[in-house]
Amino acid sequence: MQLRAATGTADPTTTEAPAAVKTRRPGGINWSYTLTSWLGFIPFLLFCLLFELLPAAMIMEGSFVNSNTGTLTLNNYQRMLSQASNLHAFQTSISLSLVTALIGAVIGFLAAYGVYNLRTSWLRNFIIGFSSIAANFAGVPLAFAFISTLGVTGFVTVLLLHWFHIDLYNGLNFSIYTFWGLVLVYTYFQLPLMILITVPALSALKPEWKEAAFNLGASNFIYWRRVALPVLMPSLIAATMLLFANSFGAFATAYALAQGGINLVPILISFVVNGNVDIDTGLGNALAVGMIVVLIIAVSLYTAMLRRVSVWQGR
Amino acid sequence: MSTIHPANTIPSLQGGERQTRRFSFGLDKISLLLVTLYLIIPLAATLAFGLSNGKALDFSTYPHILADPDFTQTLVLSLELSLAATVLTILLVTPTAYWVQLRLPQVRPLMDFLALVPFAVPAIIMALGLAEVYGTPNTLISVLSFGLVPLLSNPPFNILNTAPLLVCAYVIISLPFVYRSIDNSLRAINTKVLTEAAYSLGSGWWRTFLTIILPNILPGVISAALLTFSTAMGEFTLASLFSIYTFPIYLNVTGQNDAHKAASLAILSFILTLICVLGIIFLVRLRPNRAQNEDKLDIVAAK
């Protein structure tokens, strides 16, 4: 109320008539005020409508429409589910994201705990700073960095062959251009992201709890099992979901690495936009909606868990 | 916050820590070491790979790259697009976030939702959706957009597959962390009281915003800007699907022919990321308050 009275004087519509402002009762609804309030929000809303909401809505609508005749149909979904390659793409995408999210979450959490326990502050700052850079270093450059490292003539591949006589490609059947190679590449941005998310979350662990647990005779294992992990669990699940969404929508890294050779949903969708004849717009829309559904599950779990986090972090 | 912690814990936990040191040393320190190595090795290997010629050290790749007209052209185009996206993002989000905080707190859930949508609609889907919205005439879309979509998808504006549409898409992609960063900064200062004080002293809305609020949230705004810039510089998906020849596309094309050159280019883009992130870290340091921890969450790049 206080604010309403104060800001009323600066209202563009009322500045010419300051007398009207003074007679305004703070209790009633002030329509011109409400209207100008909304007017200030409209440019942003319109921008989001044009470039964010309408494209998403168009995809959902398009997935139920026959792209040739314009009639309502479930045919797009039928075709998506009946072709083995589409289902396989979903399977590959989901397992890739799950595997990298879990590797990132488990190892990243342990590393984050290591950062949290570090006594040397410059080292700690260095690792956090370096993680921010690594988490942002993704896409095409990352793919080429890994090709230069573990590709057929990559630096580490050659080094292993010359120094240790380990032949990654012919002896161990490894290849950076396959599923597990992609797992290695994705892990590169998942690990630092996990560290960045988890280090602040770890500060929710109060030292007093550890003291109290140990005073009551708990072992380190019991402390983690009964106190620390239950408190951290929502943050950890939220972080895992973020990592999952992060790699599920990733396109550039996989594309630059295998040039479409790995069957992932984003790569299938890119064929539609590029006008590849194998897939039509309707099927592309259905694939996109499938991705959105998976991502919505991940994102809603993420937000739900974040809400539970705030209980412990006292926000 | 976090920097105070070690000092607090060491004296109080001496006993408990001693007895458990061995266990925790085993797992967390080793993981940290392995992760650090995992993050450093590919970079070092790429640097070495870019500088080697198969057999010996060879510094000629860098002058070679710099002499390539495509390199300069795509880099300049990428810089322009990223700069445009950054300016547009900041101009759009900062006043809106302040306005919402001040006058329309009831639309905050809507803002949160709009900032969350890009997580569920990744760049690849957005490219498909934008191509459909601006590429095929649709009555429903025309009505829902108040006639703006037909206006933008027909001459003289026809923005499908053009740089302006790419810039707008970049703004949407960077929305999640830009909004969070600016909103966190706005919450950290006492927006309401500052505004009321400015108004009572006779300052108008724009003047209050530009001379009182903006200087107070500047570190947050600049780190949001640097993040947008860094994301836009590295964005590949939308540019490739709109067939706009930006720097990441050039990198991809080069990489198909010359792996050594691509390695050097990857190092160059790493250095660009490095500069942006160091800028952010420096600015976050400048900020005296508690928002420090939360800001570190905001770093998510386009993959």
Over residues A101-119, mean pLDDT: 90
- Give the least confident one: A71-75, B124-128, B281-285: B281-285
In which band, very low, low, confident or very high, does the pLDDT at A98 lie, cut at 50, 70 and 90?
Answer: very high
Is it the case that residue A20 has pLDDT exceeding 70?
A: no
Give residue B220's pLDDT.
83
Q: Do A119 and B10 touch (CB under 8 A)?
A: yes
Q: Does B145 reside within a domain?
A: yes
Q: Which residue of A has its CA nearest to B140?
A: A58
Measured between beta carbons, the chain B residues lying within 8 angstroms of A154 are 45, 49
Average pLDDT of every residue of chain A? 82
Residue with tokens 């040039």: A259
Q: Does B112 reside within a domain?
A: yes
A72 strand-pairing partners: A65
**For residue B230, which of B267, B282, B276, B279 has the smallest C-alpha distance?**
B276
**B70 sits in which H/E element:** helix B69-102
B75 and B43 inside one domain: no
**For residue B164, which of B138, B193, B134 has the smallest C-alpha distance?**
B134
Is it the case that residue A244 has pLDDT exceeding 90?
A: yes
Rounded to a whole number, what is the distance in Å from the CA of A82 to chain B's nearest CA?
22
B47 and B68 inside one domain: no
Over residues A4-21, mean pLDDT: 41
Q: Does B58 reside within a domain?
A: no
Q: Check if the beta carbon of residue B207 is closer than 8 Å to that of residue B279.
A: no
A65 strand-pairing partners: A72
CA distance B111 to A246: 21
Q: Check if the beta carbon of residue A281 is closer than 8 Å to that of residue A288.
A: no
Q: Do A52 and B175 touch (CB under 8 A)?
A: yes
In which band, very low, low, confident or very high, does the pLDDT at B166 lie, cut at 50, 70 and 90?
Answer: very high
Domain range enclosing B11: 1-51
Which of B5, B24, B32 to mutate to test binding with chain A, by most A CBs within 10 Å of its CB? B32
B104 and B26 inside one domain: no
B145 and B225 inside one domain: yes
Q: Check if the beta carbon of residue B175 is closer than 8 Å to that of residue B298.
A: no
B124 and B265 inside one domain: yes
Q: Does B227 reside within a domain?
A: yes
- Look at chain B and report how many structural domains it folds into: 2
Q: Which residue of A has its CA nearest to B300?
A: A136
Give residue B65's pLDDT.
79
B78 and B148 inside one domain: yes
B176 and B298 inside one domain: yes
User: Is A189's Cβ below 8 Å from some Cβ in B?
Assistant: yes
B181 and B75 inside one domain: yes
Q: Do A136 and B277 touch (CB under 8 A)?
A: yes
B97 and B229 inside one domain: yes
Rounded to a whole number, what is the distance in Å from the CA of A240 to chain B's nearest CA?
13
Over residues B101-119, mean pLDDT: 89
B166 and B216 inside one domain: yes
Is it the case that residue A281 has pLDDT exceeding 50?
A: yes
Q: Do A114 and B28 touch (CB under 8 A)?
A: yes
Structure pTM?
0.82
B127 and B1 inside one domain: no
- Give the least confident one: A54-68, A280-294, B41-55: B41-55
**Radius of gyration in angstroms for the set of CA atoms belonging to chain A, rounded to a whole number:** 26
Convert the pLDDT of each residue in A121-146 to its tens digit: 788 888 888 888 888 788 888 998 99
Please indicate whether residue B46 or residue B12 has the higher confidence score (pLDDT).
Answer: B46
CATH of the domain at B291: 1.10.3720.10
Convert the pLDDT of each residue in A46-76 to its tens digit: 999 989 999 999 899 888 988 777 788 888 8
Over residues A250-257, mean pLDDT: 89
Looking at chain A, the whole-number percentage of residues with pLDDT higher than 70 is: 88
CA distance B18 to B7: 16
Q: Does B56 reside within a domain?
A: no
In which band, very low, low, confident or very high, does the pLDDT at A109 lie, cut at 50, 70 and 90?
Answer: very high
Q: Does B107 reside within a domain?
A: yes
CA distance A182 to A199: 26
The partner residue sitting opposite B28, judged by closest CB among A43, A117, A121, is A117
3-state secondary structure of B52: strand
Q: Check if the beta carbon of residue B104 is closer than 8 Å to that of residue A284.
A: no
B264 and B181 inside one domain: yes
- Give the least confident one: A2-16, B191-205, B228-242: A2-16
Q: Does B57 reside within a domain?
A: no
User: Is A258's Cβ below 8 Å from some Cβ in B?
Assistant: no
Q: Does B3 reside within a domain?
A: yes
